């Protein structure tokens, strides 16, 4: 049975939010007017590398906004992904960003790579990213890696510098009492990690992506892959330390060269803006995207079941008033814990 399923009500996940102090407990109602008089006519959407899922998803969002929101042009920008995207929004260089939930949590709370809290608001919750620890079957046959901790001493790619992949991998290592000093650390993006595995320059690497990621399918077209499981105690240690992670099982057959189920963790991707983003424009953005999600599903079909308002329950930071307004119009009861 797939383990990523979350309760499909906004009540789900509230205990995590309440206990982690992610959100303010104020019960204010969303404003009906813009929080600023600023006029925005051009929206830059910070996404990720061109080989990842964020970039085509952001491109679909840009097309929706350009077609559906009056007076708006929108562009998807290729970036280093999650951490860089938060910094771009915070600096005013991008208006909208896609980011991993753990990075958003850290940014909102001024933790990890963020020395100061970033005043973010969440517009949408997208789909879960799944932590893949990937080797080749040929490497595993020579040096078995049966649990994640077995990567110690290996040549391991932790992801591109400043990426959500790197953040997630660091948090996993730390939760297991490890550090990057325990491996011969490399910092490659996904395409480069796959190439380095093929060329014998790496033993393993991490992909924090939706299932069926294109670079993994391309890799296994030439080399059978081995997905390194997180053993039960490892999953328990990671999820206990960081409640924004949940247990997840990659079903056997998801990848053609991996027949058995593989246990790991997952986290949610979210769409964020600065807290100053105008309320009415946020409402129009959220409305346009939710009512035209078919275009996003065309570029990332595995995310289809998650692009519903119910998944707002998994937000790692406060929802934007414009998102709250739209959700409530659709009959969703938004609890105080999700309000800014």
pLDDT in tens, the chain (340 residues): 333 333 333 433 433 333 333 333 333 333 333 444 468 999 999 999 887 889 999 999 999 999 999 999 999 999 988 999 999 999 999 999 999 999 999 999 999 889 999 999 999 999 999 999 999 999 999 999 999 999 999 999 999 987 889 989 999 999 999 999 999 999 999 999 999 999 999 999 999 988 888 899 999 999 999 999 999 999 999 999 998 898 999 999 999 999 999 999 999 999 999 999 999 999 999 999 999 999 999 999 889 999 999 999 889 999 999 999 999 999 998 988 889 9
Contacts of residue 99, Cβ cutoff 8 Å, sequence gap at least 6:
81, 82, 83, 85, 86, 107, 164, 269, 270, 272
Residue 7 · residue 313 · CB < 8 Å: yes
- Going by C-alpha positions, the residue among 331, 325, 329, 270 that lies closest to residue 22 is 270
**Which DSSP helix (H) or strand (E) runs through 120?**
strand 120-136
Q: Tell me the domain boundaries of the chain.
A: 14-128+269-338, 129-267
Those residues whose C-beta lies under 8 Å from the C-beta of residue 177, and which sit 6 or more positions away, are none
Domains 14-128+269-338 and 129-267 share a fold: yes
Half-sphere exposure of 199 (CA within 13 A, CB side): 7
CA distance 208 to 210: 7
305-317 per-residue burial string, b: 16 or more CB within 10 A, e: under 16: ebbebbbbbbbbb
CA gap 36, 9 in Å, rounded: 32
Domain 14-128+269-338 belongs to what topology?
Answer: D-Maltodextrin-Binding Protein; domain 2 (3.40.190)
The CATH label, of 3.40.190.10, 3.40.50.300, 3.40.1390.10, 3.40.50.720, for the domain at 129-267 is 3.40.190.10
**pTM of model > 0.95:** no
Degrees, nearest 5: CA angle 54-57-60: 150
């Amino acid at each position: 049975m797939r383990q990523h399923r979350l309760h499909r009500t906004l009540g789900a996940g509230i205990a995590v939010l309440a206990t982690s102090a992610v959100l303010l407990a104020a019960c204010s109602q969303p404003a009906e007017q813009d929080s600023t008089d600023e006029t925005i006519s051009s929206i830059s959407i910070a996404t990720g590398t061109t080989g990842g899922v964020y970039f085509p998803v952001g491109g679909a969002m840009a097309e929706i906004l350009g077609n559906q929101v009056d007076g708006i042009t929108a562009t998807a920008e290729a970036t280093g992904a999650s951490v860089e995207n938060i910094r771009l929004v915070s600096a005013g260089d991008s208006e909208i960003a896609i980011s991993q939930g753990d990075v958003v949590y850290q940014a909102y709370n001024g933790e990890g790579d963020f020395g100061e809290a970033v005043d973010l608001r969440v517009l949408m919750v997208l789909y879960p990213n799944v932590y893949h620890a990937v080797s080749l079957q040929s490497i595993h046959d020579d040096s078995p890696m049966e649990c994640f901790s077995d990567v110690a001493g290996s040549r391991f790619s932790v992801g591109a510098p400043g990426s959500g992949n790197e953040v997630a991998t660091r948090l996993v290592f730390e939760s297991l009492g490890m550090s990057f000093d325990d491996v011969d650390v490399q910092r490659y993006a996904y395409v480069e990690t796959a190439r380095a595995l093929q060329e014998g320059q790496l033993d393993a690497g991490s992909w924090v992506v939706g299932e069926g990621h294109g670079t993994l399918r391309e890799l296994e077209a030439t080399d059978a892959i081995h997905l390194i499981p997180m053993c039960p105690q490892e999953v328990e240690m990671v999820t206990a330390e960081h409640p924004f992670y949940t247990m997840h099982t990659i079903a056997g057959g998801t990848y053609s060269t991996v027949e058995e189920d593989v246990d790991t963790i997952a986290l949610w991707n979210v769409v964020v803006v600065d807290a100053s983003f105008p309320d009415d424009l946020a409402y129009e953005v959220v409305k346009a995207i939710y009512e035209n999600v078919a275009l996003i599903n065309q570029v990332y079909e595995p995310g289809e079941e998650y692009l519903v308002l119910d998944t707002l329950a998994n937000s790692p930071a406060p929802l934007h008033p414009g998102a709250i307004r739209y959700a409530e119009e659709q009959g969703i009861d938004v609890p105080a814990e999700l309000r800014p």
